[in-house]
């Protein structure tokens, strides 16, 4: 059950703006709003114009990967015509055997096929079941075959909307206010059928008091506004209306995408590229890989509007020429004198479907209807191909290579089919592909990526899937080169380290990654006693909370793992950890990958003290995470802890920023202490608090928790198990301390009671005015692939090439002769041997594909398997100890 963002208690009231945050009561909603939610809430507003109608505008800058909207469906149901599905969950049904016959499980009241008793009693099915039962209607769907399409399902979704008039009048009115385009649809063949079937069923069979116009309007609203909803495993396909998401305008080059989350199919709208305040928020209603002719025809036929986006206005479709063909005059294969080979036909007016098409070089022109006929004829040829045989697609591309541009939408669809066959189809698995087909797959991926970057840039699913295919093929290619001796073990290991240190710009999806908060030069540093990470799922949970609150660095105490780690962690984070030989104490730092690039060193002093050093601007930063002995520990243990802390601080330069943070198990109270404790502490000081103040005085540190006037719920860091509503037992024992001279660099310190990791401590988060500065590393030199000298033919080729290049001149000095010889050897080696392959290039591609696709739940297992496969390959390349 969701929890309140303020008190972490069970909550059922959702924020009406962003639909992302829950509250337990109205007062807590107001409190959460005042404490900062108003700055994070709705990133858009709905406006109206005569040209666009209702549309969505960004009210602030939206980052790439940011979740703009999360919304549950207003109504969801089966499609107009589909194979047999469950009315409650939408799952495709398989028949059960009853004696000698096969049939579906049926609802005991209305006789519609269902999964079982649980779905029969689901809330979503009750209103329609009641309406049909009262009229003694029994569904007569029987098992005939798994692929039998049932037209009877056309009545369910509209009926659910109509019945809302009685169960949820406000929701009903909201749906009825959506655009319908009924006047455009009412005379179509589909709506002629609906008049006979849907209207007859609602009015005459069920006797519901709705007129024909209302019933058809509901059906038209579904056709205009519904989303095609599919489950990740492919077992469910439905259609649903989302009231807010239906306001998103169409663009053939959208800046968002949507995914469906969970069993209840919540829609998450995600920015694929950065969106500037005031920009239109757009999605695409059709396939991005269609040409302009097909897209505009589909939108006019199904959505009843003519698209006028920038892509549709551009005859070249942003330079992709997706809908263009070669000019038959300029590219005549029998003409030897044509000076304009490669010239293409463009529409003279893409906004007019009847406009003629003219060559960009010569005066050759064809009629629009000729273009339509040709496009449709080739499309039929493509769709008739055997989808399991790549030769058919290769022949199609070759056959029309003199007519279709290499990035024509039909050629692109054929190339996409080839990418999906090579490496995935039986008989064409990646490990089975010969070298020429493996190279073909890699080349096709690169070609498709160029198109994706122009039409669906950023975090589009299409681009992510191509990256994933490309990475998989490159991994196999590299593995083969390693096994055949084209790449050395030592070289592969060197390239591994070099590639890991090199970073490419990557994209992240909220919910699956963490973004550095450096837009205004701020670093978010947090400390948290997590009670344990030595438990399945706890590390992932900690990273999820980092992601939720956008922390850049999370210092964790009482981790209870053993030894010391410096390892990549969950979801592109990095975990620096220090522990003892037993599962107690222990702590560390979890950092984002961006912060990882700024780390200059870490010192795990003990299982209670650890130092992490960062390269930041304008000064360097030293973070010390601690876990002090509890009040039950002896004084000797406490003094040993402070001795370890002293030893670490001696490694730090005094002019740099020092932050000591963690669970000190001390109470400094609300009594001010000059330059050490400000007046906004909590509780009464104890002996351990006096010891902490003594330590801070020695090193000129100030306790930053006490400098900010906040509500008590933002101050306390630990809640006793004895805490009740009648007996409040909360203390402030976790602190963030910083140099007094740099106290103004810390702009905020507060706790987050809503964070959840099954700990009785709250995280203490700070904001610091610093910018991470990447540690500069030397660029690696290219290394010749000398492993090829094992082949005698290569050696002979090298010697012959050297003889060709070396030219002796008796007039030259010895130094000049040596220079000529050196140049000749280098040139021959480069041409004959080549450079070693970058083994980790495929890992970079995998990482980018992972970040894009991780939000798709069904992709996770595939990604993890590929990561393990690549890791095994990298381990195999480690040099042998000699």
Q: Are residues 224 and 317 in the same domain?
A: no
Residue 593 pLDDT level (bands cut at 50, 70, 90): confident
The pLDDT value recorded for residue 858 is 52
Q: Are residues 714 and 749 in the same domain?
A: yes
Structure tokens at 249: 């305008």
Q: Are residues 528 and 649 in the same domain?
A: yes
Residue 420 DSSP label:
H
Cα 632 to Cα 559, 584, 636, 665, 692, distances in angstroms:
19, 15, 12, 10, 17
Among 379-383, 632-636, 791-795, 823-827, name the most confident range: 379-383
Q: What is the rounded distance in angstroms from the CA atom of residue 451 to the CA atom of residue 16?
A: 39
Asked whether residue 274 is domain-assigned, the answer is: no
Asked whether residue 483 is domain-assigned, the answer is: no
Q: What is the rounded distance in angstroms from the CA atom of residue 706 to the CA atom of residue 209?
A: 66
The residue out of 330, 346, 369 marking a domain boundary is 369
The pLDDT value recorded for residue 567 is 45
Q: Are residues 681 and 562 in the same domain?
A: yes
Residue 783 pLDDT level (bands cut at 50, 70, 90): low
- Look at residues 143, 220, 211 and name the one whose alpha carbon lies nearest to residue 178: 220
- Look at residues 499, 500, 503 and name the one whose alpha carbon lies nearest to residue 838: 499
Cα angle, residue 325 at apex, residues 322 and 326 outer, rounded to 5°: 135
Q: Are residues 579 and 715 in the same domain?
A: yes
- What percent of the chain is modeled with pLDDT above 70? 80
Q: What is the rounded distance in angstroms from the CA atom of residue 336 to the CA atom of residue 341?
A: 10
Asked whether residue 534 is domain-assigned, the answer is: yes
SS3 874: helix
Contacts of residue 620, defined as CB under 8 A and 6 or more positions apart, other chains included, come to 600, 613, 614, 653, 656, 657
Q: Is the pLDDT of residue 509 over 60?
A: no
Q: What is the rounded distance in angstroms from the CA atom of residue 535 to the CA atom of residue 512?
A: 21
Q: Are residues 626 and 761 in the same domain?
A: yes
Q: Are residues 657 and 741 in the same domain?
A: yes
The pLDDT value recorded for residue 818 is 65
The pLDDT value recorded for residue 660 is 95
Q: What is the rounded distance in angstroms from the CA atom of residue 364 to the CA atom of residue 42?
A: 53
Q: Is the pLDDT of residue 288 over 60?
A: yes
Give per-residue pLDDT as tens, 513-525: 323 333 346 789 9
Per-residue pLDDT averaged across 685-713, rounded?
91
Sign of CA dihedral 771, 776, 782, 787: negative
Cα angle, residue 327 at apex, residues 325 and 331 outer, rounded to 5°: 115
Looking at the structure of the chain, the number of domains it has is 5
Residue 583 pLDDT level (bands cut at 50, 70, 90): low
Q: Are residues 220 and 358 in the same domain?
A: no
Asked whether residue 848 is domain-assigned, the answer is: no
The bridge status of strand 357-359 relative to strand 365-366 is antiparallel
Q: Are residues 793 and 766 in the same domain?
A: no
- Look at residues 336, 344, 375 and name the one whose alpha carbon lies nearest to residue 360: 344
- Look at residues 489, 398, 487, 585 and name the one whose alpha carbon lies nearest to residue 787: 487
Q: Is the pLDDT of residue 729 over 80?
A: no
Mean per-residue pLDDT over the chain, rounded: 81
SS3 319: coil
Asked whether residue 137 is domain-assigned, the answer is: yes
Q: Is the pLDDT of residue 855 over 80?
A: no
The bridge status of strand 609-614 relative to strand 621-627 is antiparallel
Give per-residue pLDDT as tens, 181-199: 899 888 888 888 888 889 9
Weakest-pLDDT range from 92-101, 458-467, 701-710: 92-101
Residue 177 pLDDT level (bands cut at 50, 70, 90): very high
Crossing angle for the helix pair 461-483 and 409-421, to the nearest 10 degrees: 50
The pLDDT value recorded for residue 96 is 77
The pLDDT value recorded for residue 683 is 87
Q: Are residues 674 and 817 in the same domain?
A: no
The residue out of 814, 833, 852 marking a domain boundary is 833
Q: Is the pLDDT of residue 839 over 80?
A: no
Residue 221 pLDDT level (bands cut at 50, 70, 90): very high
Asked whether residue 474 is domain-assigned, the answer is: no
The pLDDT value recorded for residue 725 is 59
The pLDDT value recorded for residue 393 is 94
Q: In terms of pLDDT, which residue wins out, 604 or 860?
A: 604
Q: What is the rounded distance in angstroms from the CA atom of residue 711 to the CA atom of residue 682?
A: 10
Q: In terms of pLDDT, which residue wins out, 757 or 58?
A: 58
The pLDDT value recorded for residue 222 is 92
Asked whether residue 816 is domain-assigned, the answer is: yes
Q: Partners of 56 in the beta sheet?
A: 46
The pLDDT value recorded for residue 458 is 86
Cα angle, residue 404 at apex, residues 398 and 408 outer, rounded to 5°: 110
Q: Are residues 766 and 790 in the same domain?
A: no
Q: What is the rounded distance in angstroms from the CA atom of residue 271 to the CA atom of residue 281?
A: 9
Give per-residue pLDDT as tens, 357-410: 999 888 899 999 999 999 999 999 999 998 889 999 999 999 998 889 899 999
Q: Are residues 128 and 236 in the same domain?
A: yes
Weakest-pLDDT range from 150-154, 453-457, 709-713, 875-879: 875-879
Residue 483 DSSP label:
H
Asked whether residue 752 is domain-assigned, the answer is: yes
Give per-residue pLDDT as tens, 755-769: 777 788 889 999 988
> Which residue range forms the structural domain that includes residue 641?
522-770
Give per-residue pLDDT as tens, 428-446: 888 889 989 999 998 999 8
- Look at residues 286, 269, 282 and name the one whose alpha carbon lies nearest to residue 72: 269
The pLDDT value recorded for residue 34 is 74
The pLDDT value recorded for residue 349 is 93
Q: Is the pLDDT of residue 276 over 90?
A: yes
The bridge status of strand 67-71 relative to strand 266-271 is antiparallel
Question: Are 805 and 760 a contacting pair, CB within 8 Å?
Answer: no
CATH number, domain at 709?
3.60.10.10
């Amino acid at each position: 059950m969701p929890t309140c963002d303020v008190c972490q208690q069970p909550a059922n009231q959702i924020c009406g703006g962003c639909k992302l945050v829950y509250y337990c009561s109205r007062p807590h909603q107001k409190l959460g709003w005042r404490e900062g939610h108003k700055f994070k809430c709705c990133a858009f507003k709905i406006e109206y114009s005569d040209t666009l109608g209702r549309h969505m505008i960004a009210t602030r800058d939206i980052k790439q990967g940011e979740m703009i909207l999360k919304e549950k469906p207003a109504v969801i149901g089966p499609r107009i015509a589909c194979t047999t599905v469950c009315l409650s969950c939408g799952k495709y049904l398989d028949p059960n055997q009853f004696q000698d016959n096969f049939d579906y499980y049926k609802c005991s009241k209305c006789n519609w096929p269902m999964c079982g008793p649980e779905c029969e009693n689901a809330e979503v099915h009750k209103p329609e079941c009641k309406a049909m039962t009262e009229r003694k209607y029994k569904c007569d769907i029987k098992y005939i075959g798994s692929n039998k399409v049932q037209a009877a399902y056309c009545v369910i979704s509209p009926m659910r909307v109509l019945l809302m008039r009685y169960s949820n009048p406000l929701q009903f009115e909201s749906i009825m206010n959506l655009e319908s385009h009924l006047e455009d649809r009412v005379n179509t063949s589909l709506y002629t059928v609906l008049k006979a079937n849907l209207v007859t069923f609602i009015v005459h069979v069920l006797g519901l008091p709705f007129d024909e116009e209302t019933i058809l309007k509901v059906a038209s609203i579904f056709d205009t506004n519904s989303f095609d909803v599919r489950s990740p495993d492919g077992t469910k396909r439905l259609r649903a209306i989302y009231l807010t998401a239906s306001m998103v305008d169409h663009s053939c080059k959208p800046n968002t995408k949507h995914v469906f989350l969970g069993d209840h199919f919540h829609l998450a709208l995600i920015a694929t590229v950065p969106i500037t305040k005031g920009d239109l928020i757009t999605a695409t209603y059709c396939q991005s890989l269609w040409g302009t002719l097909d897209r505009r025809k589909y939108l006019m036929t199904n959505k009843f509007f003519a698209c006028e986006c920038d892509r549709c206005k551009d005859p070249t479709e942003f330079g992709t020429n997706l809908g263009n063909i070669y000019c038959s005059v300029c590219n005549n294969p029998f003409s030897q004198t044509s000076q304009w080979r490669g010239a293409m036909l463009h529409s003279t007016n893409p906004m007019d479907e009847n406009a003629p098409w003219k060559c960009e070089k010569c005066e050759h022109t064809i009629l629009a209807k000729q273009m339509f006929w040709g496009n449709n004829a080739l499309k039929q040829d493509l769709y008739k191909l055997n989808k399991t045989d790549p030769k058919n697609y290769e022949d199609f591309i070759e056959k029309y290579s003199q007519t279709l541009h290499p990035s024509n939408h039909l050629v692109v669809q054929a190339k996409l089919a080839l990418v999906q066959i090579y490496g995935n189809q039986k008989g064409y698995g990646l490990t089975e592909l010969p070298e020429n087909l493996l190279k073909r797959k890699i080349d096709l991926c690169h070609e498709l990526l160029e198109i994706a970057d122009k039409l669906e840039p950023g975090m589009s699913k299409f681009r992510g899937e191509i990256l994933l295919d490309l990475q998989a093929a490159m991994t196999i290619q590299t593995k083969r080169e390693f096994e055949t001796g084209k790449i050395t073990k030592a070289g592969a290991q060197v390239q591994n380290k070099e590639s890991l240190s090199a970073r490419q710009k990557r994209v992240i999806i909220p919910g699956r990654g963490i973004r550095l908060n450096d837009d205004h030069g701020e670093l978010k540093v947090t400390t948290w006693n997590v009670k344990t990470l030595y438990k399945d799922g706890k590390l992932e949970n900690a990273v999820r909370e980092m992601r939720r609150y956008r922390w850049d660095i999370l210092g964790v105490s009482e981790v209870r793992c053993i030894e010391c780690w410096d390892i990549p962690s969950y979801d592109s984070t990095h975990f620096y950890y220090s522990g003892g030989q037993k599962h107690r104490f222990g702590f560390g730092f979890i950092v984002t990958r961006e912060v990882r690039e700024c780390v200059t060193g870490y010192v795990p002093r003990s299982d209670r003290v650890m130092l992490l050093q960062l390269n930041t601007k304008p000064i360097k930063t030293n973070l010390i995470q601690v876990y002090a002995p509890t009040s039950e520990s002896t004084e000797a243990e406490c003094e040993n802890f402070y001795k370890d802390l002293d030893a670490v601080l001696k490694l730090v330069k005094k002019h740099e920023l020092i932050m000591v943070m963690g669970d000190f198990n001390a109470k400094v109270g609300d009594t001010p202490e000059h330059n050490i404790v400000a007046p906004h502490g909590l509780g009464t000081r104890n002996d351990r608090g006096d010891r902490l103040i003594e330590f801070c005085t020695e090193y000129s540190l100030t306790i930053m928790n006490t400098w900010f006037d906040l509500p008590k719920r933002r101050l306390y860091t630990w809640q006793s198990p004895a805490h009740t509503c009648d007996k409040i037992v909360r203390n402030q024992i976790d602190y963030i301390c910083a140099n007094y001279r740099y106290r103004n660099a810390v702009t905020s310190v507060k706790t987050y009671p809503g964070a959840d990791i099954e700990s009785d401590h709250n995280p203490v988060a700070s904001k610091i005015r610093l910018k991470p500065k990447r540690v500069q590393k030397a660029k690696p030199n290219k290394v010749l692939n000398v492993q090829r000298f094992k082949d005698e033919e290569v050696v002979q080729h090298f010697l012959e090439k050297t003889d060709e290049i070396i030219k002796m001149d008796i007039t030259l000095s010895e130094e000049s002769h040596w220079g000529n010889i050196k140049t000749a050897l280098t040139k021959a080696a480069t041409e004959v041997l080549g450079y070693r392959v970058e083994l980790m290039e495929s890992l970079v591609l995998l990482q980018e594909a992972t970040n894009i696709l991780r939000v798709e739940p069904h992709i996770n297992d595939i990604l993890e398997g590929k990561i393990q496969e690549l890791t095994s390959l990298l381990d195999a390349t480690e040099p042998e100890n000699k």
